[in-house]
Amino acid sequence: MSEIQRQLILDQCRQFHAAKPAAAFVPGETYIPVTGKVLDADDLVHLVDASLDMWLTMGRFGDRFESRLAEVFGTRHARLTVSGSAANLLAFASLTSPLIGDKFDKPRVRPGDEVLTVAAGFPTTVAPIVQHGCVPVFVDVDPETHNVNVARLAEAVTPRTRAVMIAHSLGNPFDLDAVTALCRERGLWLIEDCCDAFGATYKGKGIGTFGDAATLSFYPAHHITMGEGGAVMTDHGGLKRIIESLRDWGRDCWCPPGKDNTCNRRFDWQLGDLPLGYDHKYIYSHLGYNLKVSDMQAAVGLSQLEKLPGFIAKRRENFRLLTEAFRAGGLEEHFILPKATPGADPSWFGYLLTIRDGSPLKRREVVKHLEDRKIGTRLLFAGNLARQPAFKGVDFRVHGELTHTDKIMNDAFWIGVWPGIDQARRDYMIAVLLDLVRRA
């Protein structure tokens, strides 16, 4: 196909997108979801452009997305994968690799080792710990930042502790000074789950650049989307190679798709008990997965990435305006409002409201009231993971009490701040909530 034909098709895509009517908002009738994707003509053009290549597996768009993502995120390396959950799996699995050796400043994580985390969050931040035979140790959270209580975290360390793996909750960074100091002092790995916090900063530095590895999700609910997708970021070249190997079937070879012999030693290796010269393409250093993405997905991610600053600004603006209106309207009498961690500039994922002890309001009724009025709500994911059916029979440890985790499980819910929430939707959300507390 000629370049002219390609351009004609892409122009048609732009026109097709422009002809789509914008959905009108009718208060009380149009549903306001808590999250959503914001796609434009450029995203469609990227998607179709990648499709016209018919390359299908990760190619030119994927390569560009990985290098641009590393640049934007502030790490040396970024590796795409199929989801945020896969990114968490790869990040944690990399710490258990037999290749963790002399080039690393910390020992390999082994079955039975303890990993500090929180129970107020998403299950796949914690699942990889259990899936590798390690023991998650749940520490309580702070009721206002809904992030790990760092005093409790330090107390939870034992001689068996090897790592910390925690998400920046709903876009609000956890106390990175305290957590990184603890990891440094005790020689612990740190994985930052940044799936809900892309673009947040702590003391002016991007989150995800503090620990050994960080993860992102590009599911439509998140700051940018590629449909299904995620990424693992790291500064450590050795860790990057392990992550890549685990993602790509466990292979030892690092040639990109369609390329051979980039090591110039393809038939000169002798590894394991294999014969000398066994094709490096088929030598496996890990029991790996195939968690690679397609170039169509990557093309959308690449185009979305350029819009990230605008998306984050809108999320922050919605958060700020909701807070101002809620404070002025007396919502704080009944609800604990979310607060940024000191020193942090969050990249908000959602707006968490926790019903205060003593308020007559009941979470079930409040959520139903809002949903009946077409305002979408969500709980803080699993609430308290330790109480989920999936954790029955799992070897985990709770450090101290999970009082605030249980409070969040029982009395908190969140509403949206995503860029699709414009002034009309925001004003309506504020009016409904203020009316609710006025009548409480």
Ligand X SMILES: Cc1ncc(COP(=O)(O)O)c(C=O)c1O
Site residues for ligand X per CB under 6 A = 83-85, 88, 121-122, 124-125, 167, 193, 195-196, 217, 219, 221, 230
Non-local CB neighbours of 265 within 8 Å, separated by 6+ positions: 280
Cα–Cα distance measured from residue 181 to residue 176, given in angstroms and rounded to the nearest whole number:
8
Tell me the helix, strand and coil percentages in the chain, rounded to 5: 40, 15, 45
Cα–Cα distance measured from residue 300 to residue 296, given in angstroms and rounded to the nearest whole number:
7
**β-strand partners of 116:** 137, 164
Q: What is the nearest approach in angstroms of ligand X to the Cβ of residue 83?
A: 3
Decide whether 218 or 335 has the Cβ nearer to ligand X.
218
How far is Cα of residue 347 from the mean position of the Cα atoms in its chain? 12
Q: What is the nearest approach in angstroms of ligand X to the Cβ of residue 282?
A: 30
Decide whether 334 or 404 has the Cβ nearer to ligand X.
404
Q: What is the nearest approach in angstroms of ligand X to the Cβ of residue 57?
A: 20
Using an 8 Å Cβ cutoff, are 178 and 153 in contact? Answer: yes
Q: What is the nearest approach in angstroms of ligand X to the Cβ of residue 124?
A: 5
Q: Is 222 a catalytic residue?
A: yes
- 160, two tokens: 């068996």
- 138, two tokens: 């749940």
Decide whether 331 or 382 has the Cβ nearer to ligand X.
382
Helix (H) or strand (E) holding 26: none
Decide whether 91 or 137 has the Cβ nearer to ligand X.
91
- Integer CA distances (angstroms), 394 to 130, 234, 286, 289, 391, in order: 8, 30, 25, 24, 5
DSSP result, 159-203: TTEEEEEEE-GGG----HHHHHHHHHHHT-EEEEE-TT-TT-EET
Decide whether 198 or 326 has the Cβ nearer to ligand X.
198
Q: Say which of 222, 223, 399, 404 is annotated catalytic.
A: 222
- For 429, counting Cβ atoms within 10 Å of its Cβ (0-12 exposed, 13-18 middle, 19+ buried), the class is buried
Q: What is the nearest approach in angstroms of ligand X to the Cβ of residue 226?
A: 10
**Which residue in the shown chain puts its C-beta closest to ligand X?**
84
Decide whether 122 or 210 has the Cβ nearer to ligand X.
122
Q: What is the nearest approach in angstroms of ligand X to the Cβ of residue 311?
A: 16
Collapsed DSSP state (helix, strand, coil) of residue 110: coil
Q: Specify the length of the chain in residues.
A: 440
Q: What is the nearest approach in angstroms of ligand X to the Cβ of residue 343?
A: 21
**Dihedral over alpha carbons 121, 126, 127, 131 (to 10 degrees):** -170
Decide whether 83 or 285 has the Cβ nearer to ligand X.
83
Using an 8 Å Cβ cutoff, are 277 and 270 in contact? Answer: yes
Q: Which residues are catalytic?
A: 222
